Chains A and B, each alone.
Chain A
Amino acid sequence: MTEHAIGTRQEWRAAVEQDYRFQTDDGTKTLVELFDGRPQLLVHHFSRTGTGWAGASRGFRPRKATSTPTSPSSPTKAAGPAPASASARQNTPRRSTCGARSSTASAPSRSRGGVVHHTYTCYDRGTDALNATWQLLDRTPDGRGNAPEGWPRPHDEYE
């Protein structure tokens, strides 16, 4: 890994004080239990509405709406209708799968009582680089602009 990559990790970390409980495939779990024994946790937060998702994201939700990074102007049709949190509150249709969030957290030392620190969150267009399909399309002659009907669908919903 390069010096640059290490440099990006000189960020503030904030201890997660609240005791969250999450519903998982394997029953109720705490945040530290979601690490599944590893020292790092990386989460993708789906923006689609459905059962149980809202509570599962609460630990990483920014306190202020103004904390959302500025979205750069979009070269194509990539700009999404609404950020994930707004979609959820308004209970928009299931097809609105545009926004996304990714969060990471770390538990640096289990010997210190399993303290979990929140390290990083990106939102909306900030997650663009984490969408493999967009990144691949950016290398093609037509890019993202050649979509027949706008945004990608869940893979089982193509006609």
Chain B
Amino acid sequence: MPEHTIGTREEWQAARNELAKLEAEQAERGAQITRARRDLPWVRVEKEYEFDTEDGKKTLAELFDGRSQLLAYNIMFGPDYTHGACPGCTNLGDGLDGSLVHLNHRDVTLICFSRAPIERLTAYKRRMGWQFPYVSTYNTDFAFDFGLALTEDQAQQIPEITEVIANPPEWVTEWSGQVGAELKDGLREAPSWIAFAREDGSVYHTYTVIAPDPFVAPYYSSLLDRTPKAQPPEPRTWRKDEYPD
């Protein structure tokens, strides 16, 4: 338990009012950033991609499912992962279905991508009980073109990655075991959100954000930020059917 103060209701209220000023500043800054995010230029997607989905082959435009916006989370589940997707990404996926219907009614199609073959994604989706569409980028350049995955050569040129592979912290080694892939392969997938717009028959890339941005985290982590006790510093996660306790 971190150090904390016990106070009266009045003392709590005074401290809370001070904190409220910081939270209001943060909210205002967040609103400014959201406006700036929306002011990013749209970049037309010129290349033709064909994805494996649960309903057969689809183009990027077809993934919009008739809507004008596509928001996708890229789950770390590479072709080399023999046990399944990254547990942290899986935790994030667990939180998406509650928002699915609300986004769909706001002209947004919400999906997830991974680079493993579609059969493995479909089996994993069934195991996790997910509802959102899960699309494979296997055998396409899509993930590499949009920075959702690194080639082996690219990975070897990033000092942060080669350092972790050479001297992995204990939790990273555990993670490697959880996904069933060597780190040199496992760390090539980029946990990230990506957004596209469809207008007048063209598809535009509008936004990407990649970990360690705090938005690339399970929804429950924003809830845990409001609880009394801080979480452990190392981000260990478990799939919901594999908790040790």
Binding site for B on A (CB under 8 A): 1-2, 5-6, 8-15, 39-40, 42, 62-64, 67, 69-75, 102, 104-106, 108, 117-122, 125-126, 128-130, 132-133, 135-144, 146-148, 152-153, 155, 158
Contacts and interface: CB of A to CB of B under 8 A. Distances in A.
Contact of A40 (B5, B19, B35, B227): B227
A140 B71 contact: yes
30 contacts: A1-B230, A5-B225, A8-B19, A9-B2, A9-B230, A11-B5, A12-B6, A12-B15, A13-B228, A14-B11, A63-B9, A69-B17, A69-B21, A102-B226, A105-B228, A117-B6, A118-B12, A132-B98, A132-B99, A133-B99, A135-B222, A140-B108, A140-B207, A141-B207, A142-B107, A143-B34, A143-B38, A144-B106, A146-B107, A158-B105
A125 B222 CA distance: 15
B81 to A, nearest CB: 25
Interface residues of B, number: 65
Contact of A9 (B4, B11, B195): B4
B4 A63 contact: no
Main SS class of interface, B: mixed
B209 interface: yes
Given A10-B5, A75-B35, A137-B106, A104 B228 contact: yes
